[in-house]
Amino acid sequence: MSILPKSKAKSLVQKLDYHFRVQKSDTRKSLNAFISAAGDRPGFDQEIQEAIVRHENGPRKSSLDGSLIGVKDNICTLSEPTTCASAILEQFQSPFQADVVKRLEDHGAFVTGKTNLDEFGMGSHSINSHFGPVHNPRNRYGHLRSAGGSSGGSAVAVSTQQRPIALGTDTGGSVRLPAAYNGIRGFKPSYGLLSRWGVVAYANSLDTVGLMARSDVAMYNAFRALLMAPFPKISSSPNTLVQDALRDPTVVERVAEAVVKRVAKAFSNSEYRVNLLRKFRIGVPKEYNTKEMDPSIRSVWLKGLQALQQDGHSIHSVSLPTTQIALSAYYVIAAAEASSNLAKYDGVRYGKPRELASSGLASFAETRGLFFGQEVKRRILLGSYTLSAGAIDNNFIKAQKVRRLVQSDFNKVFRRSSPLVDRQNAIANEEGVDFLLTPTATTLPPTLSSLSCKSSVDTFSDDVLTVPASLAGLPAYSIPVYCNREHNRAYPELYHIGMQVIGQYGDDMDVLCASAHFRNKITKILRESLGKRDPEDLDEHSIKNG
């Protein structure tokens, strides 16, 4: 697998030039996908020349060698500021870079450009940014639509070909939701698989580094790069995993090692890849079929399940009873952790040092009041309250209990037992399912004008289908599909949505391979309903004329 095959090595210059020209075009700039520009750091031209030589003469560092990768602006880099889309960190320059950034650079990728987001990752539509909202490139009838959030900038950068791959973070759906709204792939790995060292924390027990890409091959190459050593090695490096665990104590070494071995097998053994695409038992959670779901999304969901059934997979109804209360538990836990994590932004330890009218503790409050956005302040207040002596038992402790129930619900429906469960108590469920298939979102991308009329709490429900997998720490992949709301074949009526494939903890490689297969089957049946027209052509038409 390779994004830039050796036979096309000489085209690397054109590919890099194309991505930079696309980014600099007025149309793309107006989408506000990037906070900081790329390519102006010292030595960058020399790095490009070295990559060109490797592509022409070999050996290349990896299949990512020479690729441009965007990075969400809450992931630390040395080359550009890390602002978290907040006024309080507007000029902050990190003295180190994140583990995931270093890993990609070791593979020869150019990590350039910091993408826009909701401030500190708090939001579902990328409208809570100090640098302005991100715009979905596929606007309808002149209405600006949501790009999803909080990794909206990364999604738009990939969707509009400014970058083939981008990093995001997924706390409750922040990679999957924007991927669905922008017609690209979005992957949240198992929690604890990738190091979070160098990722600015929002909610430590939920934050997960995620990936966005336009193709399954690009997604696989990027995921492999984050886990494994560059060419010619294709096996895991124990020292690297140990180092990750020392930097980030939430890295689960034994699970990471198992995933790395499966990725290595898939890379080197074609028979193993074929075996990953056996006939599966696919679960359909009945609680996910909510009354709020747009009928056009429900229709695509049913068509997708029919397509997979025709392909020989079996479809099974399953129950996840805690789905209805998972969202409330998530926002209690996330806000509580955020209130603690953001306490250091006071203008002294981190944040803008300014001449203020007050001094001492009052100056801390003044700094935070001036430079935090409204949504961040709202969640800090909520989190502080839930951790207070009078509320912690009825709020935070109960939310943690709900989280365990959510994890238990998922463990009951999957065929394979979780590697996190005590092996003596782990029981394989032969009647269980291999994957769950659900929509990524219940609604089509809303207009920005409609969001301005909603309260912050009203937008929380946009995460209802993505939050449960986050609470359980499971791998989840949003595959791009599309729907025709008016059942009209005209171009403007097509909307991008996503179907979400959820797997058991540690089954990341299986989720990647199955998702690519499922997407091909689902897209085939949807394409037939559009008169055999290629959805990628429709995609480009909507970008140019939307």
- For the question of residue 544 being annotated catalytic, the response is no
Its sign, for the CA torsion 465, 471, 474, 476, is positive
d(CA 396, CA 393): 6
Cα angle value 459/461/466 (rounded, 5°)? 120
d(CA 266, CA 270): 7
Give the residue ranges of DSSP H helices in 342-416: 361-371, 374-386, 398-413
Do residues 161 and 19 touch, judged by C-beta distance below 8 A? yes
- For the question of residue 524 being annotated catalytic, the response is no
Interacting residues of 545 by C-beta distance below 8 A, sequence separation 6+: 491
* Among 174, 190, 418, 542, the one annotated catalytic: 174
* Among 61, 72, 114, 188, the one annotated catalytic: 72
Measured in degrees and rounded to the nearest 5, phi and psi for residue 236 equal -70, 155
Is residue 401 classed as helix, strand or coil in its secondary structure?
helix
d(CA 460, CA 455): 9
- Closest Cα to residue 231, out of 422, 531, 519, 6? 6
- For the question of residue 72 being annotated catalytic, the response is yes
Is residue 323 classed as helix, strand or coil in its secondary structure?
helix
Interacting residues of 488 by C-beta distance below 8 A, sequence separation 6+: none
* Among 36, 124, 129, 150, the one annotated catalytic: 150
Active site residues: 72, 150, 174
